[in-house]
Amino acid sequence: MVLSYTCIQAPLFVSTKMTKMKRSVFVPTPEMYSKTCTRWIGYEKLVEPYFLHSLQGFLIRAIPDALVDSYMLRYFLYFRAKGLSKDSKNAKKTLSAASDSQEPNIINQD
């Protein structure tokens, strides 16, 4: 007889180099989060292993879905716009640096 059990862990934000988020009360370090994750393996089908994430999840589930969806859309669109703005500034810097390094073309107009 083979037992099959699926445990889904629902993380919120974790402070990593990729996310560039600073550690705070609601944002644990990867080490702290992984320790809590391993403790919860096999207990329930859906868990939010970090205690403060489970508190946030409880509060989020108490709010109507339409409000949460609207807030999350605005939240992620803000970060997308911020990232696109940063990318365009970096592109302009590289273009201006490339054009400054080229020798000027002298056109003889006789």
pTM, entire model: 0.55
Angle at 12 between CA 6 and CA 16, to 5 degrees: 110
Rounded to whole angstroms, the Cα distance separating 77 from 81 reads 6
Per-residue pLDDT of 16-47, as tens digits, reads: 888 777 888 888 888 888 888 888 777 777 77
- Segments of the chain scoring below 50 in pLDDT: none
The answer to whether residues 28 and 54 touch, using CB atoms and an 8 Å cutoff, is no
Query: What is the percentage of the chain residues whose pLDDT exceeds 70?
Result: 78
Nearest of 4, 12, 89, 16 to residue 45 by alpha carbon: 4
